[in-house]
Amino acid sequence: MAKLPADIPEIVRQFGPTLNRVPAGGWVASEEEDRMVKTHCCFCGQQCGIQLRVRNNKVVGWEPWEDFPFNLGKLCPKGVKRYMQDEHPDRLKHPLQRVQGKGFEPISWDAALSRVVSQIRRIQQTYGNDAFAVLTGASLTNEKAYLMGKFARVALRTANIDYNGRLCMVSAGAASKKVFGIDRSANPWSDIPKAKVILVAGGNIAECAPITTDYLWQARENGGKLIILDPRLTPIARNADLYIPVRSGGDIGIFNGMLHVMIERGWIDRDFIAQHTIGFEQVAETVKKYTPEYAAQIAGVPAAMIVRAAEMWGPARTSFLLHARGIEHHSKGVDNCIAAINLVVATGRIGHEGCGYAMITGQGNGQGAREQGQKCDQLPGSRDIANPEHRKYIAGIWGVPEESIPAKGLSAVPLIEAIHDGKIKGLLSICFNPTVSLPDANHVRAALEKLEFYVNIEFFLSETARYADVVLAGSLMEEDEGTTTSVEGRVIRHRKVVSPPADAREDWKIVCEIARRLGHGDKFNYASPRDIFEELRAASRGGVSDYYGITWERIENEYGIFWPCPEIGHPGTPRLYEGGKFGHPDGKAHFIPIEWRPSAEMPDDDYPIILTTGRVVSHFLSGTQTRRIGGLVDQYSQPLCEMHPRLAEKLGVQDGDFVRVESRRGAVVVRAQVVKTIRPDTVFIPYHWPLDRSANNLTVRAIDPVSNIPEFKICAVRVSKAEEPTDVIAQLEVQAGGIR
């Protein structure tokens, strides 16, 4: 069925988002807690240590955890207010089923699960196993990520499982794997302050990875120089030594132009290149034509900036590259990353103290959740689902015939397209809110309506869960235990702080019970997440992301362990590639020549302005959690369209005016924010909001051919002044998609 069961204001009335502003039990003297639990933030890939305060088995507050070495007590506003998602009035406490014309009503677990299982069976028997798909998320623990991959391949035997890391880390991961043979940040964060020059490419660190800010500032205190590439002058760009306002999609111009200058001036390490790499000659040949002037045309910046960047990066003694979604969210996202990484490899500055590179992992378990086998092309241990040896090993761990493991399935965007085309008829999703987070949101909503059956495991009724036939009340991060792997590749432990409320259940129990009812109970017979971890350890053994030597005790005693950790007693591997030894079978880094190509949709006469999208500091991803927390919504309450005063003048728009932003796919009406800190040819809208405030109504459904990441960072729009909207959606509260 999968259509909205009632109109949106009615669903919002029943399930929010509403705002929580006061801790459970009210403001009480802070020392009156029953216990304090050391755990980690549930939000981004930094995975900061935090202590949650518990009274009467309720999370009522927090306290910094100053001993945890990554963040030393530091927290961003999301971390500070995270506990307000506990004891929240919108919390789902029972399984629900869709009731036409009414909304949702509670049903028993038995009835809900029976319905789920009979619909899975019906759809798979009628249309084939692959007609039932699974969408998961990168905020799941390693244990749950592992479980979801196994559930799809063993219990459902569907090829079609993918995850929302597809919108996050896949370009970075693919590039890293191609060049180095391993998909992980190469260095621990403690190397950043030791670098003499740092290049941040497409990373709004102050807002999206705030804790990393202090590492950058420490490097500057030590005399390090900072180069920032971003179409917007972000808070870290304000104090950079060189800020390059690159045109979205023009990054390869900067990287190839820099390498051109570095080769010309002899700022490359020929010995390192000869001993530890292959393919440099083709790269050198390719960048020959990228003179600063040519490169500047592509990048949309003055040539002198590219020369200056090369002068800072080229001769430095130590250096660090950080890249993030700004260069990755492109139909050439993998190429953008490779071109950037070529700058690291050409200087040989990797695998030493203060020398290396990292991708800034976005989601809570953005690293670990892409290793445990919930990607459409992957098995646990970062293994390849098309590799017969890998399949055989995992089949052995799972106790299933190798041939029963499906082949590679569809990635997230094509999977939604297959639903839209009627090829996929049923869906189970967890930890994914695609109606807000995927590009071309109108298409996503239309696709969901075509599902014959949709079951969603959730703790709040997300905008996507509204389309579900059955919603299973799952668990928040603090209501279960498990591990995640942070931005550094450090495997850490989340502790169970409280139990799921009322009738809600831990996610892993729900999934195992569905598997049991489908007749695969023997393969999902876990007593705890720790049981799942023990199997995961063995499944990862010998793989690239080898967790075999990691135990929960060691994680606790050592403040986390960096993979690979192949044996019990192995110290873990904070810094990869020491001694110039890379992850490919030949032990070398592989240079790959990169040519710039245009983005899928470039501005033209009809849609003359570039739209780029991103995040703000007080919200996380699709906002399912942060749009329910009063303090965070107060800080940034509704999306604003940032534009330069020169563009605003041309459009006749003033700061605070309502503007209609349209692309070929849809429109939003939002208020304008007129600022000099953005390129005049570009507008920016953050994407955390749903419905008529969703920046993804505008974005283009184009994906990278290798990573399949969507092109969130550039599409073509037109902007015009608008009247204040007065429709029913506009009248909703701002956190629900209204406008003020």
Partner 1 sequence: MSERAFYIDYSRCIGCQSCVQACAECDTHRGVSMIHLETIQRSESVQTAPQVCMHCEDPICARVCPADAIKKTPDGVVQSSLKPRCIGCSNCVLACPFGVPKYQVDIDQMMKCDMCYDRTSVDKKPMCATVCPSGALTFATAEEIQRTRRGIAINSWKFGSEEVTTKVFVIVPREVERVNVELVQIAATPAALPPDPYDVALMLEAAK
Binding site residues, partner 1, CB under 8 A: 21-22, 27-30, 61-62, 64, 66, 71, 73-77, 79-81, 206-207, 210-211, 213-214, 217-218, 220-221, 223, 232-239, 243, 245, 300-305, 617-618, 631-632, 635, 644-646, 655, 673-680
Residues with Cβ within 8 Å of 266's Cβ and at least 6 positions away in sequence, in order, are none
Is residue 698 within 8 A of residue 611, CB to CB? The reply is: yes
DSSP strand pairing (356-359 vs 470-473): unpaired
CB of 218 to partner 1, least distance (A): 7
Is residue 57 within 8 A of residue 466, CB to CB? The reply is: no
Residues with Cβ within 8 Å of 194's Cβ and at least 6 positions away in sequence, in order, are 219, 222, 318, 353, 354
Exposure of 28 in the CB half-sphere (CA atoms within 13 A): 16
User: What span, in angstroms and rounded, lies between the C-alpha atoms of 349 and 578?
Assistant: 11
Give the nearer residue to partner 1 in terms of CB position, either 233 or 284.
233
Residues with Cβ within 8 Å of 92's Cβ and at least 6 positions away in sequence, in order, are 15, 458, 459, 460, 461, 471, 473, 474, 504
CB of 296 to partner 1, least distance (A): 9
Give the nearer residue to partner 1 in terms of CB position, either 206 or 284.
206
Give per-residue burial for 414-430: e unless 16+ CB within 10 Å, then b.
Answer: bbbbbbbeebbbbbbbb
CB of 46 to partner 1, least distance (A): 9
Give the nearer residue to partner 1 in terms of CB position, either 209 or 471.
209
CB of 73 to partner 1, least distance (A): 5
Q: Record the tokens describing residue 629, joined without a space.
A: 């927390």
Give the nearer residue to partner 1 in terms of CB position, either 21 or 270.
21
CB of 48 to partner 1, least distance (A): 9
Give the nearer residue to partner 1 in terms of CB position, either 37 or 346.
37
In this structure, the chain runs to a length of 740
CB of 228 to partner 1, least distance (A): 12
**Residue 234: DSSP 8-state:** -
CB of 497 to partner 1, least distance (A): 17
Give the nearer residue to partner 1 in terms of CB position, either 243 or 432.
243
CB of 55 to partner 1, least distance (A): 12
Q: Residue 134: beta bridge partners? A: 161, 428
CB of 80 to partner 1, least distance (A): 4
User: What span, in angstroms and rounded, lies between the C-alpha atoms of 368 and 332?
Assistant: 24
Give the nearer residue to partner 1 in terms of CB position, either 239 or 557.
239
CB atoms within 10 A of CB 364: 29
Give the nearer residue to partner 1 in terms of CB position, either 319 or 673.
673
DSSP strand pairing (277-278 vs 319-323): unpaired
Environment class of 31 (CB within 10 Å of its CB; exposed 0-12, middle 13-18, buried 19+): exposed
Give the nearer residue to partner 1 in terms of CB position, either 301 or 355.
301
Residues with Cβ within 8 Å of 306's Cβ and at least 6 positions away in sequence, in order, are 244, 253, 254, 257, 258, 261, 292, 295, 296, 299
Give the nearer residue to partner 1 in terms of CB position, either 6 or 41.
41
Q: How far is CA 718 from the centre of its chain?
A: 28
CB of 624 to partner 1, least distance (A): 19
CB of 86 to partner 1, least distance (A): 14
Residues with Cβ within 8 Å of 138's Cβ and at least 6 positions away in sequence, in order, are 145, 163, 164, 165, 168, 169, 362, 363, 364, 365, 366, 369, 370, 431
Give the nearer residue to partner 1 in terms of CB position, either 236 or 504.
236
